[in-house]
Amino acid sequence: GENVEQHPSTLSVQEGDSAVIKCTYSDSASNYFPWYKQELGKRPQLIIDIRSNVGEKKDQRIAVTLNKTAKHFSLHITETQPEDSAVYFCAASYIAGTASKLTFGTGTRLQVTL
């Protein structure tokens, strides 16, 4: 089955700096890669996703890049703000029409300091 590794496990950046979180996956059939943000005790919230037919996607301060050959994808957050502090999870899935099970990475705890 799919295995997703995520690094780093913790990341501390100063407000205004950029943050990068990296994930690798094992199953070359995976074609859907969402990123979730989870605040303490709350539900994971989808912040951005990318499908295997594109290499990069951007939404304001958040971007995701995908390298299918190397089987890795990354989350980039620019101009970080204190409210970006949370745990971020990457995930991978093979989608064929409808939702399929997600395999999550181990999570990255991002701390944005003033």
Partner 1 sequence: GAVVSQHPSWVICKSGTSVKIECRSLDFQATTMFWYRQFPKQSLMLMATSNEGSKATYEQGVEKDKFLINHASLTLSTLTVTSAHPEDSSFYICSASGQSSDTQYFGPGTRLTVL
Which residue of 14, 83, 97, 114 would you call a contact of partner 1, by CB under 8 A? 97
| Residue 97 Cβ vs partner 1, minimum distance, rounded to whole Å | 7
Sequence letter at residue 36: Y
107 dihedral zone (left: phi>0; alpha: psi -120 to 50; beta): left
Any contact of residue 89 with partner 1 (CB under 8 A)? yes
Return the number of the residue (26 or 100) whose C-beta is nearest partner 1.
100
Which residue of 35, 37, 103, 112 would you call a contact of partner 1, by CB under 8 A? 103
The first and second tokens of residue 83, run together, are: 């409210």
| Residue 44 Cβ vs partner 1, minimum distance, rounded to whole Å | 5
Which residue of 23, 63, 92, 102 would you call a contact of partner 1, by CB under 8 A? 102
Per-residue CA distances from 79 to 14, 42, 83 (Å): 9, 24, 11
The first and second tokens of residue 73, run together, are: 């994808």
Give strand pairing partners of 5. Answer: 24
Any contact of residue 44 with partner 1 (CB under 8 A)? yes
Q: Could you identify the residue written with the tokens 């029409």? A: 97
Please choose, out of 44-52, 54-62, 64-72, 73-81, the segment that lies near partner 1 by the rule CB under 8 A: 44-52
